[in-house]
Amino acid sequence: MRRMLEAHVVGRRVRAVRLSGKRLRDPVPRATPRMLAGRTIVAVGRRGKYLLVSLEDGVTLLSHLGMSGRWLFYLEPPAARLPHVHACIAFTDGSALWYQDPRRFGLLRAVRTEAVDLDPAIAVLGPDPIATPPTGPALAALARGLTLSVKGFLLDQRRIAGVGNIYASEILHRAGVDPRRRASSLTGAEWARVASELAAVLDEAIRRFGTTFSMYRTLWNEPGTYGEKLRVYDRAAEPCRRCGTPIRRIVQGQRSTFFCPRCQSRRAARPGARA
């Protein structure tokens, strides 16, 4: 989304902003429209899952898509109105950016650019694995002493910022690690595999514009194509693509986890591993 927004909105000047008035994760501050109006977008950044749309005069629009949020860009906004649109940013050239979010778990607020890192949502984030690809030893250090599961570890944005529920399952399958293992119990070799698969999965998912299995769309309302690459997510009872064993679905911390009980066991033989 950062890359798509960068290509389409940098250089455009905000004419006006309309809000639905509905609360998202937090209330959208009423000052947001007047902080953006009249200013030109100069860059689009990202920290973990948060988008940072920065404008002139040191103003940044902070945004998170939550579970069901999407940004839609229109050269000419449609006359028919969509449901669940909580922000319409109209540009001076007639184009527009709309924020749509049925479940309203997203976040939207304008902040001072110099204070972005102090924003409570941003301040708690751990290292960003795309900006700085993690090494095995670095992950092992972050996990030292923790009793939570390795799946829970990957999902915790305060430890690693940016991995969500789909990619956590995918990373652990590719790394051959059981998601139920305690994070502190992984060997150095296992952390090394998690680190490299984490980087590989995020890289390919980004190149494919994300994973659409229902609601998510790109900036142009098209599905992302990483769904074609999924090995375990949403494939309960289907055969593992590597060994044919039925994929299992379990629940960890109220979130679904998908894994192959054979490939992701401690004894599993792994491709490329010595016998």
Partner DNA sequence: ATCCTATCCTGTAGGC
Partner DNA sequence: TGCCTACAGGATAGGA
129 touching DNA, by CB under 7 A: no
50-55 β-sheet, strand order: 41-47, 50-55, 59-64, 107-112
* Nearest approach, Cβ of residue 169 and DNA (Å): 9
Residue closer to DNA by CB (options 95, 256) is: 256
Residue 142 DSSP one-character state: H
Residue closer to DNA by CB (options 10, 250) is: 250
By the 10 Å C-beta count (0-12 exposed, 13-18 middle, 19+ buried), 50 is classed as buried
* Nearest approach, Cβ of residue 133 and DNA (Å): 19
Nearest to 17 by CA among 31, 1, 2: 31
Residue of the chain from 135, 196, 212, 225 that contacts DNA (CB under 7 A): 212
Instruction: Please give the Cα distance from 261 to 265 (Å, whole number).
Output: 6
Residues 6+ positions from 155 with CB-CB distance below 8 Å: 163, 164, 165, 168, 253, 255
Q: Name the one range near DNA by CB under 7 A: 12-20, 52-60, 133-141, 253-261.
A: 253-261
256 touching DNA, by CB under 7 A: yes
Nearest to 22 by CA among 67, 70, 87, 74: 87
Residue of the chain from 166, 198, 247, 263 that contacts DNA (CB under 7 A): 166
Q: How far is CA 34 from the centre of its chain?
A: 28
196 touching DNA, by CB under 7 A: no
Residue closer to DNA by CB (options 13, 25) is: 25
In the 3-class helix/strand/coil scheme, how is 23-57 assigned residue by residue?
Answer: CCCCCCCCCHHHHHCCCEEEEEEEECCEEEEEEHH
Q: What does R_g of the chain's alpha carbons equal in angstroms?
A: 20
124 touching DNA, by CB under 7 A: yes
Residue closer to DNA by CB (options 75, 124) is: 124
Judged by CB under 7 A, the number of residues near DNA is 41
Instruction: Please give the Cα distance from 164 to 255 (Å, whole number).
Output: 10
109 touching DNA, by CB under 7 A: no
255 touching DNA, by CB under 7 A: yes
| Residue 45-84 contact track with DNA, rule CB under 7 A, x = bound | ---xx--------------x-xxx--------------xx
Residue closer to DNA by CB (options 95, 128) is: 128
216 touching DNA, by CB under 7 A: yes
Q: Name the one range near DNA by CB under 7 A: 33-41, 51-59, 86-94, 251-259.
A: 251-259
- Helix locations, the chain, DSSP H: 2-9, 32-36, 120-123, 136-143, 150-155, 165-175, 188-207
Q: Which residues bind DNA (CB under 7 A)?
A: 23, 25, 48-49, 64, 66-68, 83-84, 102-105, 120-121, 124, 145-149, 152, 155, 157, 164-166, 210-216, 224, 249, 253-256
